[in-house]
């Protein structure tokens, strides 16, 4: 009976080890994706963060402040849906990258 339990425990630890390795690969891929995105965003915004843009942003915030609560909720909901879609796209790209890394 002890040998059977020993095999079960061995299998459990083996599965945990494999799961941890897979999660590590996912984390590495996500980290690399965020790192690349950050660099790209920095380069994209280089020279664009100007006084003119700051004024435009503040004007937009002022316009948003004038919205009714219902309109504000709709605006927030649209923004959240947009962020969810973007996050799902990033996840898909990271998963594809992870699969490519596993295949190589």
Tens-digit pLDDT profile for residues 69-101 = 899 889 889 989 999 999 889 888 888 888 888
Domain of 94 in residue numbering reads as: 2-103
pTM of the complete model: 0.43
Phi-psi label, residue 47: left if phi above 0, alpha if psi -120 to 50, beta otherwise: left
pLDDT digits (tens, 9 = 90+) for 6-47: 788 898 899 899 889 889 988 888 888 888 888 887 877 777
> Could you give the number of structural domains in the chain?
1
Give the DSSP letter of residue 67. S
In the structure, what pLDDT confidence band is assigned to residue 1 with cuts at 50, 70 and 90? Answer: low
Tokens of 91: 């996840």
């Amino acid at each position: 009976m002890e040998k059977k339990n020993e095999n079960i425990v061995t299998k459990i630890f083996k599965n945990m080890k494999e799961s941890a390795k897979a999660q590590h690969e996912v984390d590495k891929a996500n980290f690399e994706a965020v790192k690349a995105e950050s660099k790209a965003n920095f380069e994209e915004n280089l020279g664009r963060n100007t006084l003119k843009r700051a004024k435009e942003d503040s004007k937009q915030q002022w316009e948003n402040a004038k919205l009714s609560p219902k309109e504000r909720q709709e605006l927030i909901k649209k923004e959240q849906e947009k962020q969810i879609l973007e996050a799902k796209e990033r996840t898909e790209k990271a998963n594809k990258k992870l699969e490519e890394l596993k295949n190589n």
